[in-house]
Amino acid sequence: MKKTIENSRKILTILLFAAIFAAVFSSASVTSYASAESIQDGDFVRLFPTVNYFQSANPSLVSANADYLLVYDKDVRSLFVRPNDSSDTYVYETDFENVTSLFVLENVAFLQADDKFYTIDLSDKTANAVEVALPSP
Domain ranges of the chain: 1-44, 59-132
φ, ψ of residue 38 to 5 degrees: the values are -70, -30
Higher-pLDDT residue of 75, 31: 75
Q: In the prediction, which pLDDT does 109 show?
A: 94
Q: In the prediction, which pLDDT does 57 show?
A: 73
Residue 8 has pLDDT above 90, yes or no: no
The percentage of residues in the chain with a pLDDT greater than 90, rounded to a whole number, is 28
108-113 vs 116-121, strand pairing mode? antiparallel
Burial 77-108 (b: 16+ CB within 10 A, else e): ebbbbbbeeeeebebbebebeebeebebeeee
Cβ burial of 2 (10 Å; 0-12, 13-18, 19+) is: exposed
Q: In the prediction, which pLDDT does 26 show?
A: 73
- Sheet holding 90-93: strands in order across? 59-64, 68-73, 78-83, 90-93
Q: What is the mean pLDDT of residues 73-95?
A: 86
Higher-pLDDT residue of 12, 40: 12
Residue 36 has pLDDT above 70, yes or no: no
Which listed CATH number (3.10.520.10, 1.10.569.10, 2.40.10.480, 1.10.10.1200) goes with 59-132? Answer: 2.40.10.480
